[in-house]
Structure 1
Amino acid sequence: MPVGVKVRTLPMQVAARLVERIATGGPAPSELEISQEFGVSRIVARETLKILASLDIVDIAQGRRVAVRPPEEWDYLNPLLAEWLPEEQVVTLLRELHQVRLLLEPELAAMAAANMTDETLARLRQEMDRMTALTGEPDHYLEADHAFHMEICRAANNRILDRIMYSARWLGTASRRVTNAPRGSLHRATDAHARVLAALEARDPEAARAAMRDHLHGNIPILAEKEQRTKRASAAP
């Protein structure tokens, strides 16, 4: 599922092919096997394995065969995985990301409401105005959408939570492309964001928590339908 990452180098092209294969149950090839199968040099094969290792997909130890790591240990926040995994696995990741957002973002909104400054409110209103003006331009809308949520996150004044949310931005972009796609969804999202902003303007933590929770709950059916449709398509003969 494209999220803005482009495959450029030869090792990355080979790694992309191998990620899809390994993700569907294939073994991890050795440096020699990569070189022979793809017709590349041993240097390219070695760099390919380093890419896979950087994604926590394989373990490379001198004198031992390359081993596939358990899928639950893979670096799913790395944008390359969102680009290279089979689509049916990516949409499942989007559902899991949304579960994380439901756990974190209502509390972040409540924390932000308690810490809200006039400067942050001014930035939030600016992003709100951008979203209102961009309901006919989904790609630009999602940029303002992301910026709005990150302003709330930063207003919570918790650097660890800020980094967690920022690290998930690539999956967040992919998720927004799904939830922003249905007809009328951007207008509904704008109304939901306006309710969140109103609670933040009132500096009301409980109202901010509830408004953010309602906003995120509204996207659950869209993501579930996308996941089911993708799985049906992948299972079709």
Structure 2
Amino acid sequence: MRVVSTSLHEDVAERLRALIFEGVLPPGAFVDEPALCAQLAISRTPLREALKVLTAEGLLRHEPRRGCFVAEITAKDLDDIFPVIALLEGRCAFEAALNASEAELQALEAVHERLARHARARRIQAYYDTNYLIHEAIIRLADNRWLAQVIADLRKILRLARLQSLQVPGRMEQSLSEHLAVFAALKARDAEGAEAAMRTHLHRQREALRVLAVQEKARRIG
């Protein structure tokens, strides 16, 4: 029996994730195995191992006798996921407030200053990128690999939705205020305050997405 290299199928899985997150394989798209094998210059075996990985992660769904399709994220999925990720990232903020060193907080303060500059200049993509760095930093400062692992899995699912909450008028300013509230609690070593502020931040992000969905529906009807 041929043994498939673990590193090969993991590399294929990462390349497939990139195709999904970049929109080359959009939600609902059929995964054409022969075409992907040709595109990626691989055999069917590592591709199928990679498809199993992505199916387990929730990025793909497998239909018997039909094959794999890119998962589609519904409003209910978002309603189900956001409270969970708010709890998890809230706990990260709690633990970060207790664990972070003064030097680490100073470094995080510099990132928040950059976030504020992007908000003032209305640099939306730069704001998104810096926002991501802040969330990642707080997860890292929590120093809890189990929290980090589950959050990473949920974030993969959320990326399928290609969320753009900053398109809602006033959301960037609100988001910045929420981030500053989290950071103020971290600096004060207020673990419970940091947890509550982070949970509020993520719940409000879900609300902004709900508003955006209503606005987009109104534009389509109009």
TM-score w.r.t. the length of structure 1 is: 0.62
AA partner of residue 145 (structure 2): R
**CA deviation profile, 1:158-178 (whole Å, cap 9, x unmatched):** 122123333444445566842
| Higher alpha-carbon Rg | 1
Q: Secondary structure at the match of 1:20?
A: coil
Do the aligned residues in 2 keep the contact of 1:142 with 1:177 (CA within 8 Å)?
A: no
1:6 and 2:19 aligned: yes
**Normalising by the residue count of structure 2, what TM-score does the alignment of the two structures yield?**
0.66
| Contact preservation (8 Å) 2:168, 2:211 | no
Equivalent residue, structure 1, for 2:29: 20
Deviates more, 1:144-153 or 1:96-105: 96-105
C-alpha deviation, 1:149, in angstroms: 1.2
Match of 1:132 in 2: 116
Aligned to 2:129: 143
Residues 194/177 of structure 1: CA separation in 2 closer, same or farther (3 Å cut): same
Contact 1:94 1:174 in 2 (8 A): no
CA contact (8 A) 2:171 2:208 kept: no
Alignment CA distance shift 1:130-1:171 (3 Å): farther
Instruction: Compute the displacement of 1:227 (Å).
Output: 5.6
**Which residue of structure 2 lines up, in the alignment, with residue 70 of structure 1?**
none
The one of 132, 148, 156 equivalent to 1:162 is 148
Q: Summarize the Cα distance change of 1:210–1:48 in structure 2 as closer, same or farther, 3 Å threshold.
A: closer
Q: Secondary structure at the match of 2:107?
A: helix
The answer on whether the counterparts of 2:73 and 2:160 sit within 8 Å (CA) in structure 1 is: no
> Once superposed, what is the RMSD of the aligned Cα atoms?
3.9
Q: 1:188 aligns with which of 167, 174, 185?
A: 174
Q: Deviations over 1:40-76 (max 9, x none)?
A: 98x87666645433323xxxxxxxxxxxxxxxxx422
The question of whether the paired residues in 1 share the 8 Å contact of 2:167 and 2:212 is answered with: no
Is this contact kept in 2: 1:94–1:171, CA < 8 A? Answer: no
Equivalent residue runs for 1:67-146 within 5 Å? 74-76=56-58, 78=59, 85=70, 89=73, 92-135=76-119, 136-146=122-132
Q: Deviations over 1:139-163 (max 9, x none)?
A: 1111111111121112112122123
What is the percent sequence identity of the aligned residues? 25
Q: Secondary structure at the match of 1:194?
A: helix
Distance of aligned partners of 1:102 and 1:215 in 2 relative to their CA distance in 1, 3 Å threshold = same
